[in-house]
Amino acid sequence: MKAVKITDIKKTEIIELPEPSLDDGNAVVKIEYGGICGSDTHFYLGMHPSLKPPTNFIQGHEAVGVITKVSPNPKGFSVGDHVAINPLVGCGECVNCVNGHPNICRVNRRVMGFRLDGTLAQYITIDLDHLVKLDNNIDLKIAATFEPLAVGYHAVTLLENIDLNNYPIIITGGGTIGVVTGLVLKHLHNLKPIIIETNQARVKLLNELGFTVKNSISEVDILNSKIRPIIFECSGVRKVFDEIIDSQRKPEYLVLIAQYAKGNSVNLHELQSSEITVISSHMYTPEDLINTAKLLNRKEVQTDLSQIIYQKVFSLEDADKAFQQAISGNLDGKLKVLIKC
């Protein structure tokens, strides 16, 4: 079978491997589609905050496929099931893991494609605990957006004890994570957050999805509201973060979804003196994945997600071109580049 590795900065290679065998407690999955994430492109460019190529691992962590072999199991998995991959592996023993939060494991947290073999391969073998069953009627091309959708779902769920209807909601950054966070708010809470985005091709897509778009936080400040907003920071741009902290109408809640490099300083005086509650959000929990699958069952969610996918789907052999296309940003207003495995 074929698989993709990043063997140097800006260089992918197609490798030939034997098809994986079936082990107890595992399934063999024929990967149908894999998505390219911002963390993948940063790694490809040698700009990942903690890893540089090569790692000798198969790349990829956003993937969906079909079970071709499965060991006897009480979980209900069968040959032919459509599944999404949970690429996050915790140590399984620390306080966070045993409480259902491997996403914040501080002992041995690993993500497929970076510290484990990933999903840009024709077949993978995987522990059944890392599969999420999908409705077989869902187009797997659309289902390939499952993993980023789960990131947005988790971030919104962190505010489950807050009545979101009482707040103006702003999302900074109209990339994939900003959009899927907006879609979770739209479809689960009937909310239409304002999205901050300056890329005009993206603005068109955001408007088509029903979102109001502004160029900056300062434009939102003129809105007639006496309530401080909730802001989901999805841009990962330090200048945007500083604008949030320094804005005249500071958020009451700031949810950090975007990843920042180590060593960034923060204006703690502004945070403290403005009573900004900062909530950090990292990936998702197993429970989030189950609930994301339920959300993905909705036809209206599938329709919206279909609009963010770049029309050209690349082959495994053209993985290098897929990475270059994703990095270029020339996606005709779309957001997600897919590889057909």
Peptide bond into 54 cis (omega under 30): yes
CATH number assigned to the domain comprising residue 331 = 3.90.180.10
Asked if 186 and 246 sit in the same domain, the reply is yes
CATH number assigned to the domain comprising residue 262 = 3.40.50.720
Question: What's the pLDDT at 224?
Answer: 62
CA–CA gap between residue 53 and residue 36 (Å, rounded):
16
Question: What's the pLDDT at 219?
Answer: 85
Kindly state whether residue 296 falls inside one of the protein's structural domains: no
Q: Distance from CA of residue 143 to its chain's centroid?
A: 13
Q: Out of 260, 280, 300, pick the residue that ends a domain.
A: 280
Asked if 123 and 192 sit in the same domain, the reply is no
Asked if 46 and 137 sit in the same domain, the reply is yes
Kindly state whether residue 303 falls inside one of the protein's structural domains: no
Residue with tokens 């802001």: 231
Mean pLDDT of 102-121: 97
Domain hosting residue 207, numbered range: 151-280
Kindly state whether residue 125 falls inside one of the protein's structural domains: yes
Neighbouring CB atoms inside 10 A of 116's CB total: 15
Question: What's the pLDDT at 222?
Answer: 59
Kindly state whether residue 236 falls inside one of the protein's structural domains: yes
Note the pLDDT tens digit of each residue in 80-91: 999 999 999 999
Q: What are phi and psi for residue 178, nearest 5 degrees?
A: -60, -40
Q: Would you say the pTM of this structure is higher than 0.95?
A: yes
Asked if 190 and 204 sit in the same domain, the reply is yes
Note the pLDDT tens digit of each residue in 297-334: 999 999 999 999 999 999 999 999 999 999 999 999 99
Report how many domains make up the chain: 2
3-class SS of residue 154: helix
Kindly state whether residue 6 falls inside one of the protein's structural domains: yes
Kindly state whether residue 56 falls inside one of the protein's structural domains: yes
Kindly state whether residue 202 falls inside one of the protein's structural domains: yes
Asked if 138 and 160 sit in the same domain, the reply is no
CA–CA gap between residue 14 and residue 52 (Å, rounded):
19
Asked if 129 and 200 sit in the same domain, the reply is no
